[in-house]
Amino acid sequence: MKITDAKVFVGGPGKNYVTLKIQTDQGVYGLGDATLNNRETLPAAYLNDYLIPNLIGLDPRNSEDIWQFFYRGAYFRKGPIAMAAFGAIDMALWDIKAKLASMPLYQMFGGKSREGALLYAHATGADLEALMDSISHYVEQGYKAVRVQCGVPGMPTESYGVSHAADNNKHYITDFSGIRPKVEIWDTDRYMRYMPDALMAIRERFGEQLKILHDVHHRLLPREAAEFAKTLEPVGLFWLEDPTPAEDQDALRLLRQHSTVPVAIGEVFNSIWECNKLIEHELIDFIRVAVTYAGGITHVKRIVDLAGLHHIRTGFHGAPSHSPLCMAAQAHLNAWAPNFGIQEYLVLDTPECDALFPSTHRVESGMMYVSDEPGLGVDFDENEAKKYSFKPGSHPVVRLEDGTLWNY
Ligand code: GCO
Ligand code: MG
């Protein structure tokens, strides 16, 4: 069996999804996602210029050897661009493998460990009252877990995860007005003074059953993060996400010494080498890698198994940064993983997105039910894809009030 062709498509409704389609000489094809938010043309170029020319003619069933060939075969390894590009190939090869076996992908890992996977939604508000409304909106839809972000009084601009718009998903849409990012101003003191009481008010309003998550988006220094986590203890958070910048694997030691608040980290990691110490030293409770830019199913499954040895559960990244293909790969891992925790869910499943990626996965009352179709359970409509092309866009950048550049 041989790979005969592979094509990359860039574009989508309100997003630049990077989609890979691999064809074989037996008519079976596989799909993969290489979307790297706001850097989408780069994994596409890596695929077109380096990986696809080496892929043609290989046996698609040898997904492990193909992964090793692209990883070890590149002297300068890792990084989100390369790992997103292999990630897409790997996803597509697992899609092919499962289709050849006429099985849903989760069967290739060991079958189902659960019927539905717990999801969390994103609630957001310009102020606490607007956030409360947004939380109610998701609770009414049956969500048992909600991530909460709200504006902080006196903060000079909007900041991460906060929408001033009526649309709850608005904070996520890339700014397509151009390649130059808009600037947000951040003030750690205001944030640290305001958020603990705000989170406590949410707990009081919604009761003890709601699983409350909060994302700091890498903004605090290790000592600040330790103080913040300690102050949040009475809230009973499900998790505190990315309290410190992710590069420093030791930064969480101080937080661990001062608090038992569950910590989730990893959405920016693209290899096991960025989280092995965090996992082995049990400095986190949830690992947040995404199948797309952490090197595909082959590599993420290794991270999940390592995490399982250390009582760490999964909480895969599920921002609309990824396409429904990544969400599908994660749905299959979530169905299988003995150490599954929760899944972030914010795919903008508009009619346009559903038309581009017809899917047989189901979301109901805050749970995701994996597809039983052979393969990933998501298709890609090439005719629909003709409607879209790449649009330059950007994330904001963050500065302190004196102009110092900070972490987005
Ligand atoms: C999350 C993430 C996202 C990232 C986004 C960047 O928890 O979902 O923090 O909001 O900011 O994926 O492209
Ligand atoms: Mg996050």
Residue 187's DSSP bridge partners are none
Alpha helices in 80-180 (DSSP H): 80-100, 106-109, 128-140
For residue 256, the CA-to-ligand 2 centroid distance in Å is 20
112 Cα: distance to centroid of ligand 2 (angstroms): 27
Q: How far is the CA of 53 from the centre of ligand 1 (A)?
A: 32
* Amino acid letter, residue 305: D
Among protein residues, the one with the nearest Cα to ligand 1's atom 10 is 319
Candidates 171, 214, 217, 332; catalytic one: 217
pLDDT value for 168: 55
What pLDDT, on a 0 to 100 scale, did the predictor assign at position 164?
A: 63
How close is the Cα of 217 to the center of ligand 1, in Å?
8
- Count of C-beta atoms within a 10 Å radius of residue 28: 18
Which atom belonging to ligand 1 lies closest to the Cα atom of 319? 8
Query: What are the residues whose beta carbon lies below 5 Å from ligand 2 (ion)?
Result: 215
Q: What is the mean pLDDT of residues 19-30?
A: 98
Ligand located closest to 242 CA: 2
Residues 38/83, Cβ–Cβ less than 8 Å? no
Query: Of the listed 160, 191, 194, 388, which one is catalytic?
Result: 160
Residues lining ligand 1, CB < 6 A?
Answer: 37, 215, 217, 267, 317, 319, 321, 344, 395
Per-residue pLDDT reduced to its tens digit, 72-115: 999 999 999 999 999 999 999 999 999 999 999 999 999 999 99
pLDDT value, residue 156 = 87
**Ligand 1 mean position to 160 CA, how many Å?**
9
Share of residues in the chain with pLDDT > 70 (%): 97
**Residue 250 in contact with residue 278, Cβ under 8 Å?**
no
- 109-372: which CATH topology? TIM Barrel (3.20.20)
Atom 4, ligand 1: residue with shortest CA distance = 319
* Portions of the chain given CATH number 3.20.20.120: 109-372
Smallest-distance ligand from the CA of 318: 1
Active-site residue, 217 included: yes
CB-based contacts of 181: which residues, under 8 Å, 6+ apart? 175, 394, 395, 396, 397
Specify the ligand 1 atom closest to the Cα of 318: 8
Q: What is the DSSP string of 60-74?
A: TT-HHHHHHHHHHTS
Q: Nearest C-alpha to atom 3 of ligand 1 is from which residue?
A: 319
Q: What is the pLDDT of residue 179?
A: 86
* Residues 202-259 pLDDT 10s: 999 999 999 999 999 999 999 999 999 999 999 999 999 999 998 888 999 999 999 9
**C-alpha 54 – ligand 1 centre gap (Å):** 32
Q: Is 322 a catalytic residue?
A: no
Lowest-confidence region among 1-10, 161-170, 368-377, 378-387: 161-170
Instruction: Please report the atom of ligand 1 found closest to the CA of residue 38.
Output: 13
Mean pLDDT of 169-194: 84
Q: Does position 158 have pLDDT exceeding 90, yes or no?
A: no
Instruction: Among 120, 124, 217, 342, name the best residue to mutate to test ligand 1's pocket (greatest count of ligand atoms within 8 A of Cβ).
Output: 217
| Ligand in nearest proximity to the CA of 321 | 1
Residue 384 is inside which H or E element, if any? helix 382-385
Nearest listed ligand to the Cα of residue 160: 1
- CB-count burial class (<10 Å; 0-12, 13-18, 19+) for 313: buried
> Is the pTM of the predicted complex or chain greater than 0.95?
yes
**Which residue out of 35, 176, 267, 347 has the highest number of ligand 1 atoms within 8 Å of its CB and is therefore the one to mutate?**
267
* CA-closest residue to ligand 1 atom 2: 319
Q: Does domain 3-104 have CATH number 3.30.70.20?
A: no
Helix intervals (H) in 154-212: 188-206
Q: What is the mean pLDDT of the chain?
A: 95
Tokens of 296: 């595909």
What are the residues whose beta carbons fall under 8 Å from the beta carbon of 65, sequence distance 6 or more? none
Residue having the nearest C-alpha atom to atom 1 of ligand 1: 319
**Is it the case that residue 167 has pLDDT exceeding 70?**
no
What is the distance in A from the centroid of ligand 1 to the CA of 62? Answer: 33
Looking at the chain, which residues constitute the CATH 3.30.390.10 domain(s)? 3-104
